[in-house]
Amino acid sequence: MADGTPRTSIVAEQAADRLYIIDARNGIERRLLLDWIHATSNDVGGDDEPAWASIDIEDGDHALPVDVLRARLGGAPSRQIVPLRVAWRIPGFDKERALKFRHLIFGDPRHPGGLRARLILLRDRRRAQILIGEAATLDALRDRFCAQTGGGDGEGADSPEFAGFVARQAALALDVAERGIRGTRYKVPRFVADGLRTSPKFRAALAELSEKTGRPVGDLYREARPLMKEVIARPSALFLDMRARLDRMMFGGYAPEMEIDAAELAKLRSILREHSTAILFTHKTYIDGATPSRLAYENDLPMLHSFGGANLDFAVMGEFFRRSGMIFIRRSFQDQPVYKLVLRHYIAWLLAKRFPLSWAFEGTRSRLGKLMPPKYGLMKYVLDAAHATGTRGVHFVPFVTSFDLIRDVEEYAAEQTGRNKKPESLSWFLGYMKSLKAPSGRIRLDIGNPVVIDAAPAPDDKRALETIAFAVAVEANRVTPLTVTSVMCLILLGMAPRGATSAELLGAIGAVTDWARARDIRLSSELESGDDAALSATVDTLVASGLLTRYEAGSENVYSIDPAKHPMASYYRNIIAHHFLDRAMIELALFELRDGDSGDATAAFWAKIDRLRDLFKFEFFYPPRDEHRAAIEAELTRIDPVWDRRLASGDRGIAQLLRRCQPVVGHAILLPFAEAYSVVAELLARAKPGDVVDEQASLDAALAEGKQAWLLRRISSEAAIGKLLFANGLSLMRHMGLTTDATPPNLAARRALLMELRGLANVMETMRLSTVALADRLPGSGG
């Protein structure tokens, strides 16, 4: 009935031995279906009154009324059970998919009440379409019942559990048939709680928990029932349509169409159809979680179950999102074994039925732009569920959304300077939605290759979990494209406080995009095509938003970034910083070595690379050292095929390598981190012997000291002032053993680190000056 086998037609030989299950919500639907049954019986020449049972097969928390069905489930094992339903069409809906606000008040027109159904039929009977679900024999249903429930209370004709199972299978078969006319986007889970309660694995898990806790199974079961209601999402077609409309409203300030490669979309469609899948998206803003669901809806892909914190389950919106597929999870449930059990088996149920999941694998929005370290919680629960149920071939699909402008960035910049985050509420949500109406450019979607887990690791295999999460992060970084916004912020921050003329900017953009193409780094459509009109339109949007300034009174247009906007511009620059990290490390190491002696600099160069890797280990994802060295060597080869001989020749060869590196970008990538760390190092270096490091107090003090350093121009930009930057600097010092009690040797080591960081900042200032000096010679310059 719902096992996916081809639907069979009803032939005359079967007419005398079949039972129709009528899924009818009201008398009008029942009458339509009975008329069809009698007409069909007459067509095949049957003399006997056809057997049928009418039931409203609702997916609720109450038992289905199956008494009539129980009484009629007898008969030969070969007896055919045929499900029927009326599908109500909405005129013109398939074209625009636009529900009206009145549908929230009067209900989904696809599920009309009796009076409404009667009025529809009076206007247009063609809107009522008879659906015939996949038929199944009683014998096949009994086998399926035993396989899925372990037999329950028995599979006899008078078994209420078996009758309920048959009714649910009929509804599922009808859902499959209905998706044939409405689309795969409406594939929603049905009877989840019933499926869990009757699952032998769930019952066995409750029994095992009973033994561990000493509590009766009945008590655990009673505790589990309301938890299922709390955890299980209840999506429906009406709310999926309304959610799609909300998504379109969220993106009202962006271009109407999201950009995505057709081949990547086709590949995703195949993965969702054939495998248990989790879409793991990068998290830059509140609304990037809506881009996978919007993509799925607009392209008739299966709906995605997303995850949200319980803090978002407020007022009306919590119920709205639960009905459109969101699973709300408590922030902490370490000591709640029944809750954990219900959540794990619910996830396993979704995986087994191939309902795709979706969540932000960073766990929280990135406040700095670059990818945050993955949070393992949800991934561990998915893997534990797959391990417990033997689900194989889970596909973790990295999903990257790139926005020309992100409305949250101004909030992030304020948070990083110490302002408290506003709590979510309905009024906050409405205000945020209003802010999204401002013109914000384009949206681009990039889908990485899936990280395939053939067999889920054991729950205690922490290393395997970390390896999987790291693989997802690396792939997400790989498919992150360069955009106009990120590239312009990279260039202008690298030249600041000097601006750049239009010609200089175009020349620098051309140099960066050529560099990216040679390394197979993805580019946004404007950069890839070289479409000047599209590029100008995006730049106009950035200027109108205030992120960039454009001076137009002189003989040439000059672009720059106001110093007060540097923290915001740094966010966009950081989104693509990982693409330039190897290059930045090479440039910085070469600049440090350029005034060295004339001897072989090879060993010193690799020592510098290793030191930079260690200094910024809390900011970036690195491959293992051998792989990272190979990547550095590959980048050196692109710069100069004989780089090894240049290094071996000392300062003259280094100067030649540096000329081939122009224009340099290392200072634009690494300077804010070095300056932020220097603020923390100076704070701790000023401690008195015996002082204890209070980390929270140190972070608070660093915000004040950072502002002072900026005013005194000891740091070059307010982009180096931020709680997360300071926290990572403190993590580095902790890792180096410099946050223990202040002893004379410890204080000396802190001062040494401070001098090292300041030295790096000075070298990067030299790099910036070299970039400014080169500006007039960039391709496209008028000089």
pLDDT recorded at residue 32: 94
Tell me the C-alpha distance between 658 and 773, whole Å: 14
Q: What are phi and psi of 94, to 5 degrees?
A: -65, -20
152-210 pLDDT per residue, tens = 655 555 688 899 999 999 999 999 999 999 999 999 999 999 889 888 889 999 999 99
pLDDT of 8 above 50:
no
**Mean of the pLDDT values across residues 84-107?**
77
Tell me the C-alpha distance between 655 and 657, whole Å: 5
pLDDT recorded at residue 41: 77
pTM above 0.85, yes or no: yes
Cβ 282 vs Cβ 288: under 8 Å: yes
**Between residues 769 and 782, the one the model is more confident about:** 769
**Mean of the pLDDT values across residues 308-320?**
77
Instruction: Write out the two tokens for 769.
Output: 């000056």
Residue from 283, 275, 321, 262 nearest 302 by CA: 275
754-781 pLDDT per residue, tens = 999 999 999 999 999 888 887 766 554 4
14-69 pLDDT per residue, tens = 555 889 999 999 999 999 999 999 888 776 555 578 899 999 998 876 778 888 89
Name the band, by pLDDT with cuts 50, 70 and 90, for residue 357.
very high
Tell me the C-alpha distance between 278 and 301, whole Å: 14
123-137 pLDDT per residue, tens = 999 999 999 999 999
pLDDT of 576 above 70:
yes
**Between residues 542 and 151, the one the model is more confident about:** 542
User: What stretches of 424-493 adopt beta strand conformation (E)?
Assistant: 443-447, 451-455
pLDDT recorded at residue 475: 96
The rounded percent of the chain whose pLDDT value lies above 90 is: 68
Residues in the chain: 783
**Mean of the pLDDT values across residues 225-234?**
92
Tell me the pLDDT of the chain averaged across its residues.
Answer: 89
pLDDT of 783 above 70:
no
**Between residues 75 and 585, the one the model is more confident about:** 585
pLDDT of 6 above 50:
no
The amino acid occupying position 782 is G
pLDDT recorded at residue 138: 92
pLDDT of 530 above 90:
no
Instruction: Write out the two tokens for 426.
Output: 């309905």
pLDDT recorded at residue 248: 86
Name the band, by pLDDT with cuts 50, 70 and 90, for residue 148.
confident
Close Cβ partners of 361 (under 8 Å, ≥ 6 residues apart): 280, 281, 282, 283, 374, 375, 378, 379, 469, 472, 473, 476
Cβ 567 vs Cβ 718: under 8 Å: yes
**Mean of the pLDDT values across residues 621-637?**
94
pLDDT recorded at residue 97: 67
